[in-house]
Chains A and B, each alone.
Chain A
Amino acid sequence: MYISKSGEPCLDPKAWLSFCLLLAILVSSTPAANALQAGNADGIVRAALEQEHGYVKSAQEKGLRESHESPESLFASGAPSENSEQKHGYFIFAQERGLHESPQWLALGHYGKRAMGGYESLVDDPGFFLHPEGKQNPEAELEATIAALMDADAPLDDTNAACRYPARRLWLLNQMVLAEPDLPTPMCSELEEYLELVSPRSATLVFPEAHMNSPASMFGHTLIRLDNEFESKLISHAINYAAFTDETFGPFYAVRGIFGMYKGYFSVMPYYERINRYSNMENRDIWEYRLNLTAPEVMMMALHVWEMREKYSRYYFFDENCSYILLFMLEVARPGVNLTDGFGAWAIPIDTIRRVREAGLVEEVTYRPSRAKRLMHIAAISSQKERDLAKEIALGIEVPDAADASVAGADPAIRTLDMATEFLKYQYEQQELEKGIYTERLLKILSSRSRLGLLDYDIPSPVPPEEGHGSARVSIGGGSLNGEAYVRLRLRPAFHSLVDAERGFTRGASISFMDLEARYYKDREELTLERLDIIDITSLAPVGDFFQEFSWKVNTGLEREELPGGRDRTTYGLYLASGLAADTPGRGLAYGFVGVSAKAGEELDENYAAGGRASAGFIMPVGQKFMVHAEADAAAYRAGHEYDAMHFALMANLSTGKDHSILLEIRRKGLEGLWTTDASLLWNIYY
């Protein structure tokens, strides 16, 4: 039995409060607001940059400064000085040129501008700083660095400041604050070994995309590859920033990741290790963005990675994460490029790539398909018979020679054995096969394959992910609910839903955070919070010859429901479901889920409802610009407040540009005996 509350105000204060709070968060994290913040930092950076360039140029031309003697003149003999006054003189020399606030010094220290003024380094390891207050004081850190580099008493081994801070040293030399004759020359054997192995010449930004069946991994990851003189990129080295965890309990992992309780470290490893992991084990497509950094710029970056060796920063899943911290590396390489300002409460990896592109650093983009993609491509150009035989060979049911070249020529047999190899490896990497069986079967298949010659596969490159719609979305429009007109506003900070344009995104993968909808009903003069999806994830994994995984769905958040008699209620719900998806003709994807749904709310009997729920529907792209999504959803709540709910939805989204679309939604809902028809038109802006 539902009993209404009396005397509800027209403008629901709960709605306003939630809306304002979220709007505040959203606005403070939008690029617009951050451009304002960044404006200040930009101004300082630009001024310092001009100063920096001006100094180097005039020093080269004149050789002497007007207001100060040159550092060289302070030391007639050119030997390193033990005199701390003279070291201080070098520092004043640098300080007058504003070098302690120059973009490259700030990047070398990972300094960010503080809201209250001044700077703070994102590095947390005290061992990174030479000055006790170095974390908050780039000026003091610069002075301490100069003093340490000029210290004639320090041992000339790998512990010397010159070996530990080679990027800072090189930078000071480039700025002509210090000169080689003034500095001790230690033997940096570890550094030399590193430079010889890595041998950096050029750099590439690498973006591994989403795992299969893991929409949240659509956010991706970024790493920087340092390319050497070899043609093969497999033996380049990759710079990776990652959180080091020992966690095995999921919720702790999430909490510690969000609140910075893990330490993040840089590591350098052969690129083939990253390929083996991302491309093969995790089946992630990889995008490689070759950067136009020069060899000296790349060397500076490589030296700075060495400075970060075994120095930690607190890892924050949302903002100071893998992709954001890597931007400091690029800022070190190219002085004056501003990549780290302008990110608000979170830094989504794909957005960091967009930023790097906008800064004009990208020269070329290369696509590297995952093992799963390669397998699906070969499967798509093969016959059902070839696919079936490939599977049987991989499972050991058939011998490899069953792929007989004498029947239909070499190509079908080659495709069959190549599919068998990929599928066998896939199974092994998913730990569905024992090593001894794997190696034996692999060798047999490859031996047969080696007798069949060459075949090229041309795997088409999809739309690069940075060309997809923007990560955040704001929508405005209007509609009518059972004849009552309303104005509708939606805000979604991240990331992508099934009806948004598919270009650049993983097909069938949808993830939304904090998707908010508010309406203003004209006649009632009422502003409502219609819904707030805190998390909504759908993963559609179409079943095929080789991959048969469950699709799944999670949704949790607030929802307002219209009730008979002009009443309504707002409940907090959780829906978990699992099911299957399948490809349909016309590039569509059909799905069906079954799951459980629970709701909590003071207007429900016993304050809760729980029961079973099912959804079914399909998505279908029509032409290049339309996306259609139709869904039917039914719930039967049988614990707590007992009721039934049904929901039919038809959505059609027309893309009018990369970041704009028009969405038509028609919904028919049945709840507690009341049927409502809701139709609306929305203009979506992605940014």
Chain B
Amino acid sequence: MKKLFVGVVVLSLVLMGASAAMATDSNTGCGLGDLIFGDPDTVMLQSFEATTNGTSGNQTFGITSGTSNCSKPSKYVSNERLEEFVAQNMDSIAQDMASGQGESLDTVAELMGVPASERAVFGTTLQASFPEIYTSGQVTSAQVIDNIAAVI
């Protein structure tokens, strides 16, 4: 009864709704700028989806994004966690690397087994070699990993 009353009263807001499509989660890209967007949300609808955190898509548990469609690094014997992280975070890793420090860069270091005491040097070394690691706008995550391995 309570729900009914509250719901009926708030229906005024319903008049102001517009497109409700939700941005889907990021896709399994391997390069820079690989994010999937939903339709741009209107401001007012954002208010609903912000609180319901609705998502379109099937209801799988969704633990791994999966990098099955990304090629593997050829020279560096890496692990799945590293491959997946780099594939999904190409842009933030690039930004951190150009700055010589940052959380995404630290994560790469940790996943590559760099001890905590050496991470600062890792950062500045990669910063100095940035164009040799992120070689072009189409560079893939596998290439980035190989390029990092070649530099350190």
Contact = CB atoms under 8 A, between A and B. Distances in A.
B16 A554 contact: yes
Contact of B51 (A219, A232, A269, A447): A219
Contact of B3 (A266, A318, A443, A453): A318
B137 A257 contact: no
A635 B83 CA distance: 61
B103 A439 contact: no
Interface string B95-119: 1011111011011001100001000
A239 to B, nearest CB: 10
Interface stretch (B69-77, B126-134, B143-151): B126-134
A446 B32 CA distance: 13
Given A216-B47, A231-B116, A310-B60, 15 more contacts: A235-B107, A244-B58, A244-B59, A246-B56, A250-B45, A257-B48, A258-B10, A259-B3, A268-B61, A268-B62, A277-B26, A312-B59, A322-B52, A450-B128, A453-B100
Given A210-B50, A316-B3, A346-B6, A447 B98 contact: yes
Interface string A441-474: 0110111011001110000000000000000000
Given A211-B46, A251-B17, A450-B128, A242 B52 contact: yes
A22 to B, nearest CB: 9
A317 B136 CA distance: 45
Given A235-B81, A248-B21, A346-B6, A230 B110 contact: yes
Interface string A498-540: 0000000000000001100000000000000000001101010
30 contacts: A216-B48, A216-B50, A217-B50, A220-B50, A230-B111, A235-B111, A243-B53, A243-B55, A244-B57, A245-B56, A253-B45, A254-B10, A262-B54, A267-B60, A267-B61, A268-B62, A276-B26, A276-B88, A276-B92, A281-B23, A281-B37, A429-B37, A431-B40, A438-B33, A442-B33, A447-B130, A449-B99, A454-B100, A455-B99, A537-B47
Contacts of A219: 50-51
A235 B87 CA distance: 13
B17 A263 contact: no
A345 B5 CA distance: 10
Contacts of A282: 50
B103 to A, nearest CB: 6
A213 interface: yes
B40 to A, nearest CB: 6
B56 A349 contact: no
Contacts of B104: 234, 272
Interface string B3-23: 101110111111111111111
B20 A250 contact: yes
A2 interface: no
B52 A232 contact: no
Contact of A421 (B35, B95, B107): B95
A431 B38 CA distance: 10
B48 A269 contact: no
Nearest to A316: B3
A430 interface: yes
Contact of A454 (B22, B50, B101): B101
A270 B88 contact: yes
Contacts of B59: 244, 263, 265, 267, 310, 312
Interface of B: 2-3, 5-7, 9-23, 25-26, 31-33, 35, 37, 39-40, 42-65, 81, 84-85, 88-89, 91-92, 94-95, 97-101, 103-104, 106-107, 110-111, 116, 124, 127-128, 130-131, 134, 136-138
- Scoring A220, A277, A344, A446 by chain B CB atoms within 10 A of each residue's CB, the highest score goes to A446
Given A232-B106, A258-B10, A221 B63 contact: no
Among all A-B residue pairs, the 4 with the closest Cβ atoms: A250-B17, A216-B47, A217-B50, A439-B137
- Scoring B46, B47, B89 by chain A CB atoms within 10 A of each residue's CB, the highest score goes to B47
B23 A214 contact: no
A314 B136 CA distance: 47
Nearest to A29: B2
Nearest to B134: A443
Contact of A446 (B39, B42, B44, B130): B130
A435 interface: yes
Nearest to A436: B137
A589 B23 CA distance: 31
A197 B79 CA distance: 12
Contacts of B22: 245
A450 B130 contact: yes
Nearest to A549: B43
Given A250-B18, A276-B89, A446-B134, A321 B51 contact: yes
A442 B91 contact: yes
Nearest to B4: A259
A599 interface: no
A369 to B, nearest CB: 12
Interface string A407-429: 00000000000100100010011
A194 interface: yes
A132 B19 CA distance: 40
A450 B51 contact: no
